[in-house]
Structure 1
Amino acid sequence: MNDESSPSPADPADPSPSPADPSDSEPVGVDMSEEDFDQAVSDALDAIPPALAQRLSNVAVFVEDEHEPEPWEGPEMELLGLYDGIPLTERAEMPFQLPDRIVVFRGPLLRMCSDREELVDEITVTVVHEVAHFFGIDDDTLHALGWG
């Protein structure tokens, strides 16, 4: 008696292809043009509540393809975004202060996502994460709030 719901063993004479081995599959990733990616970053910034967005002064936002790790970061560190500056909570009034920088790294985000919707969501999470650092919110707090 043959139970049709159970898989049958592979027959070497059977020419039908076997299921793909997951280790043989292409890496997960999605493609998005630079223009669309930049627009997704801009949309994420536009979604910041106006009361907070008004306080984002002297901050420049950039998109770069890849993060070049510093020697202390190690090669295994693949950042999605980076805040470079002095958080508002630690800042003193100083004239002629260089702008803080938020950088969103396109390559790692493209590689980690499997579709456009997931990519746009991850871009938003990354932008919120880095903007939160500008406001002095650390990684532990972000993780506790579900943004990490």
Structure 2
Amino acid sequence: MGTWMDEAEFDAAVDAALARIPDELARLLTNVVVVVEDEYEPQPWEDPDTELLGVYEGIPLTERAEMAWQLPDRIVVFRGPLTRHCRSRAELEHEITVTVMHEVGHFFGISEERLHELGWG
């Protein structure tokens, strides 16, 4: 099944999820960009059927050393898998929020296991 949402609505849902981040944490989200892509392209060593909802690419805040300059980290939210995974608009909006919070958690160095314990995975 799945739930359709046009690109502008999906982007607005991602923005709404980001707006839910508490101000004290949002201020720490520096040198990171959040982007929406249609599909996840599995790496050559991954199962070709791998379907991620989102991914964090970068160096977690807890592991960073002071550097004069570095490329921004990226949080990528994948539209296709999320829309295929959800059966209603409410579920899709919820899963977008969970995905964004999950990947932001990785930016802060929170492990996969702890994110699941907190309900963000």
Which residue does 2:70 correspond to in 1?
A: 97
Superposition map of 1:67-106 within 5 A: 67-106=40-79
Cα displacement (A) at 1:72? 1.5
Superposition map of 1:44-63 within 5 A: 44-63=17-36
Structure 2 length normalisation: TM-score?
Answer: 0.98
Instruction: List, as ranges, runs of 4+ consecutive aligned residues in structure 1 with deviation greater than 4 Å.
Output: none
Cα displacement (A) at 1:76? 2.5
- In 2, the alpha carbon distance for the partners of 1:114 and 1:121 equals 11
Give 3-state SS (helix, strand or coil) of 2:56's partner: strand
* One-letter amino acid of the counterpart of residue 134, structure 1: F
Kindly indicate whether residue 88 of structure 2 is the aligned counterpart of residue 115 of structure 1. yes
Kindly indicate whether residue 106 of structure 2 is the aligned counterpart of residue 144 of structure 1. no
Which residue does 2:99 correspond to in 1?
A: 126
Higher helix share: 2
Superposition map of 1:3-18 within 5 A: none
* One-letter amino acid of the counterpart of residue 62, structure 1: V
Which residue does 1:32 correspond to in 2?
A: 5
* One-letter amino acid of the counterpart of residue 57, structure 2: D
Once the two structures are aligned, what percentage of the paired residues are identical?
66
Which residue does 2:38 correspond to in 1?
A: 65
Runs of at least 5 residues in structure 2 that lack an aligned partner in the other structure: none
Q: How many corresponding residue pairs? A: 121
Cα displacement (A) at 1:73? 1.6
Give 3-state SS (helix, strand or coil) of 1:126's partner: helix
Greater RCO, 1 or 2 (C-alpha within 8 Å, sep 6+): 2
Runs of at least 5 residues in structure 1 that lack an aligned partner in the other structure: 1-27
